[in-house]
Amino acid sequence: MNPALIKVMLVDDHPMVQDGLSACLSFYDDIAIVGNCGDGSAVLETAKQCQPNVILMDISMPKLNGLEATEIITESMDSAKVLIFSMHESAEFVTNAVQAGASGYILKDTNSEEVYQAIKSIAQGKSYFSSSIAKMLIDNPPAQANARLTAREQMILSYIAKGQSSKDIAQTLTISIRTVEAHRRNIKSKLNLDSLAELVRYAVNQGLIDS
């Protein structure tokens, strides 16, 4: 086995994106695609079979989302580095990804050359972030990196995103409206989001809701 060969595994639920990446990366002879996976829930199994050096991972996937999958991988396989491949350009996404153990974060609107560079960096143990990501982290430093919601807050948020009012949620969970409102405030404060609309979009993007 060529020691300089970087074994890459793709995790994305869009075959076209997989095909595209495979095609683009096949031009580089120091990279080998050793596995594909269309769903986060099969990531660990596939990774153990393929033993990749780098896992190129989409965040938004059905069933298990990319952040959870990343957490599982980084906790159980030291050899595999995770490179997030996302279309979301928001500080929370990036910080969450880093907390989950990702080594890098690139956007889907980057070209194949940059994807190649990112994979090389990650394989060498370095980290890599899209330039626009780096710029955003400088402009908008992750002041509260601890923006993760508690289980209760996630539950409340999912009801909110489903369209239930605070009153409805209070009745469903048999707690006071004031409690629900307090959770609302805490969630918005933690996520630094002002409007209900942004909450809903966050919930949808996080996969807290079927949508």
140 binds DNA (CB under 7 A): no
The distance of closest approach from Cβ of residue 192 to DNA in the complex, given in angstroms and rounded to an integer, is 11
The one of a second copy, DNA, none whose footprint includes residue 39, by CB under 5 to 8 A per kind, is: none
What is the side-by-side order of every strand in the sheet holding 6-11?
A: 31-37, 6-11, 54-57, 81-86, 104-107, 128-129
The distance of closest approach from Cβ of residue 111 to a second copy in the complex, given in angstroms and rounded to an integer, is 5
Span interacting with DNA, options 43-51, 122-130, 134-142, 187-195, rule CB under 7 A: 187-195
DSSP assigned state of 107: E
14 binds DNA (CB under 7 A): no
Residues with Cβ within 8 Å of 14's Cβ and at least 6 positions away in sequence, in order, are 58
Q: For residues 16 and 58, what is the distance between their CA atoms, to the nearest angstrom?
A: 13
**CB atoms near residue 114 (< 10 Å):** 15
User: Restricting to residues 72-111, which ones interact with a second copy according to CB under 8 A?
Assistant: 87, 108-111
88 binds DNA (CB under 7 A): no
Residue with smaller CB distance to a second copy, 87 or 134: 87
And the tokens for 68?
A: 């959870």
Choosing from 5, 17, 155, 177, the residue that interacts with a second copy (CB under 8 A) is 17
Residue 143 burial (10 A CB sphere; 0-12, 13-18, 19+): exposed
13 binds a second copy (CB under 8 A): yes
Q: How far is CA 56 from the centre of its chain?
A: 11
The one of a second copy, DNA, none whose footprint includes residue 71, by CB under 5 to 8 A per kind, is: none
The single-letter code of the amino acid at 46 is T
Span interacting with DNA, options 16-24, 135-143, 178-186, 203-211, rule CB under 7 A: 178-186
The one of a second copy, DNA, none whose footprint includes residue 15, by CB under 5 to 8 A per kind, is: a second copy
Span interacting with a second copy, options 11-19, 122-130, 134-142, 143-151, rule CB under 8 A: 11-19
Choosing from 88, 108, 120, 188, the residue that interacts with DNA (CB under 7 A) is 188
Q: Taken in order 57, 58, 62, 64, is the CA torsion positive or negative?
A: positive
Length of the chain equals: 211
